[in-house]
A and B are shown apart, each in its own frame.
Chain A
Amino acid sequence: MIHFDSIVKHYPLEAGFFAREEHKVFAVNGVDFRVEPGEIYGLVGESGCGKTTTARLLVRMERLTGGNILFRSRDGREFRLAGIGRADLAALRSRVRYVFQDPARSLNPRLSIREVLLSGYRYSPRWPGRSRAEEEARSLIQEVGLSVGDLDRRPADFSGGQRQRISIARALITQPEVLICDEVVSALDVSIQGQILNLLLRLREERGLTMIFIAHDLAVVGYVSDRIGVMYRGVLVEEAPARTLMANRRHPYTQYLFESLPVLRTDGESHRRRGDPALRATFSRRADATENPVSDATFLEMDEPEPGHRVSRIFSDAPRR
């Protein structure tokens, strides 16, 4: 179980000693949600709303400004991210794997794909020995739609989507308990994307893999997730079971976001931006990360109009239709 307990992350907007304290990026502002074991939790929201930051806080690639994250692993061990020690952090990271949004930044260009897959694995508690690990690498590389011969090539020799699949394989080979997928299928064609989604769903069945699934494609997030959280300006504005949210969106921001989704057109109509213009104006005017959206903590309270469907009061005064 993972509990993001009112987490806050502010970044300085200016670097250096003389950085003014009031100039900050309010990346995450009191987000509170739980992810249950074996659950796939989808996180959506516009660019810059704090999804990646939330994920990075869980693996301590960023330090919390406020709040805490509690992770209770399946073997009963508890981790609290605020003030976590080095040994605990190593133990946490062997259980929680993060697949980056931008794989070019995270694959060591000097290593072959075989080494990329095995290097992270070797120091994990599950390392099964060289030959067994090789075997797993061969089978996994095929499951992500590449071939065994690709193990000898280097990251630069691959297309963007192929690199993305390599970083998925690198995370999966260590058999993590929790997998954070940050925009991992967006660079794939829809056919290989389906294959990867099926692989993830299967691993959830087989191993009880818990997942935080971040993506902009709302149809994909809606398909793969059990529950979905919607973020806006570092605040969780709505949370509901995926099937509920796909059918019934209560917060005006969620309504706006979903209306902006492009749909496949086969009628030759030229591009037209969708989405209610009034809502668009309201939400794009407000989307400035250098202003604190939470001037009053009661803003963060969420109503629960039906069990499991939580709607934040913040920004909910936007014009509703």
Chain B
Amino acid sequence: MILTVENLSVDFATGGGLLHAVRDVSFTLDAGEVVGIVGESGSGKSVTAQSILRIIPANGRIAAGDIRFRDRSVLALDGEELRRFRGREVAMIFQEPGRSFDPIYSIGKSLAETIRAHQPDLGEDEIRERSIRLLEEVHVTNPERRLENFPHQFSGGLLQRIMIAHALASDPTVLIADEPTTALDVTIQAGIVDLLLELRRRRNVAILFITHNLALISSFADRLVVMYGGLVMEEGRTVDVLRSPRHPYTAGLLASLVPFGAHHSQQSLFILSGAPPNPMAPEPGCPFAPRCPLAKPGCREAIPEIRTDGGSRVRCIVEGPK
């Protein structure tokens, strides 16, 4: 196992009290494996990813659990070790490209900086050549000229691709991608997935891929983790989770997909009724209970334990496909 997240809990201090963003989350990532994390907006996917790199915002705190990279606790890494872990072993691609670029640096300058950090011996010309190759790899046309441009001169999708070029520059063991294709069009999405799969083939890179795009992840991830209200609700092989979901939330999510060709004048969308959980005041029991069609009185008493059901791990007291 290259990466293990064990019973991770993360809290944030806010004006209104403690916010429990991640609650008892466990999963593993093997070398060369692709694991997808999907689920509710605000369910703790990004915070989980940030915890692995130990870059959660200052008001956050890992309250319990451990993160292990190979055989070492990431939480115990310090100084130089932590820097090496972040720079060489694990690279992250973020959700919002606009925030990841310094507006006063040209694309070429920031890319050169990233390359230099990993390969200090390269000369100016080699760095420039490598920059151009990286931009070509992520399908930026006219890379020689584009290196001179500034972030505001690129569309959202182009910036996202340049960010991936940055991550590739460090040749990482684990790549964490937090919605890297969100602002991208369908053809480039497919291209990025091709690119990531090629990396895994060539270098056995393990990939943790956070996304809302179930169609995209369905043919890409080996396993899926489904999150809701800070908890892992279901985890299993992608085929199993998508073909016969064992958790009512997973089933609800799949039912909410807009079918291709549907039109509002003819068909209304399936909507999970009720509001998403409020992490400032979590339900004492299953966070999905207020919206769950199968909820029973017992569901609201305590958070259900994770158990195995049809090859998947599921946090629900009702057994069987949903």
Contacts and interface: CB of A to CB of B under 8 A. Distances in A.
A150 to B, nearest CB: 8
Given A189-B212, A268-B239, A156 B57 contact: yes
Given A192-B40, A273-B190, A47 B156 contact: yes
B155 A187 contact: no
A23 B260 contact: no
Interface string A19-30: 000010100000
Chain B at the A interface: mostly helix, strand, loop or mixed? loop
Interface stretch (A70-78, A80-88, A124-132, A213-221): A213-221
A190 B276 contact: no
Nearest to B259: A219
B184 A216 contact: yes
Given A191-B272, A220-B258, 7 more contacts: A46-B185, A161-B212, A186-B182, A190-B253, A217-B213, A246-B260, A263-B215
Interface string A258-273: 0011111111111111
Interface string B230-269: 0000000111001100000000111011111111110011
Contact of A270 (B15, B156, B219, B271): B219
B145 A290 contact: yes
Interface of A: 11, 13-15, 23, 25, 45-48, 52, 101-105, 142, 145, 147, 149, 152-153, 156-162, 165, 183, 186-195, 197-198, 201, 216-220, 222-224, 242-243, 246-247, 256-257, 260-275, 280, 284, 287-290
A181 B82 CA distance: 41
Greatest chain B CB density within 10 A among A142, A153, A157, A191 is at A191
Contact of A194 (B182, B188, B269): B269
A214 B237 CA distance: 34
A159 B21 CA distance: 10
Contact of B98 (A25, A102, A264): A102
B291 to A, nearest CB: 9
A242 B153 contact: no
Interface of B: 12, 14-16, 38-42, 45-47, 57, 59, 95-99, 139, 141-142, 145, 148-150, 153, 155-158, 179, 182-191, 193-194, 197, 212-216, 218-220, 237-239, 242-243, 252-254, 256-265, 268-272, 275-276, 278, 280-281
B276 A145 contact: yes
Contacts, number: 226
Given A48-B155, A153-B15, A160-B95, A189 B253 contact: yes
Nearest to B155: A48
Contacts of A289: 141
A246 B237 CA distance: 32
Contacts of B189: 216, 262
Given A159-B42, A160-B46, A219-B258, A101 B156 contact: yes
A13 B263 contact: no
Contact of B156 (A52, A218, A271, A273): A52
A218 B148 CA distance: 33
A183 B12 contact: no
A240 B235 CA distance: 42
Nearest to A156: B57
Given A13-B145, A14-B148, A262-B216, A192 B156 contact: no
Contacts of B16: 149, 152-153
Nearest to A101: B156
Given A48-B155, A147-B275, A216-B186, A222 B98 contact: no
Greatest chain B CB density within 10 A among A102, A145, A256 is at A102
A265 B218 contact: yes
Contacts of A246: 260-261, 263
Given A272-B219, A273-B194, A218 B260 contact: yes
Contacts of B261: 219, 222, 246-247
Contacts of A288: 141-142
Given A45-B185, A149-B280, A218-B186, A25 B264 contact: no
B219 A271 contact: yes
B138 to A, nearest CB: 11
A159 B46 contact: yes
A243 B281 CA distance: 43
B46 A222 contact: no
Contacts of B42: 158-159, 161-162
Contacts of A145: 41, 275-276
B194 A48 contact: no
A187 B265 CA distance: 25
A274 B239 CA distance: 20
Given A187-B179, A223-B262, A266-B242, A271 B186 contact: no
A23 B96 contact: no
B156 A191 contact: no
A106 B301 CA distance: 41
A252 B144 CA distance: 30
Contacts of B242: 264-266
B181 to A, nearest CB: 9
Nearest to B262: A223
B15 A105 contact: no
Contacts of B256: 190-191, 193-194
A23 B185 contact: no
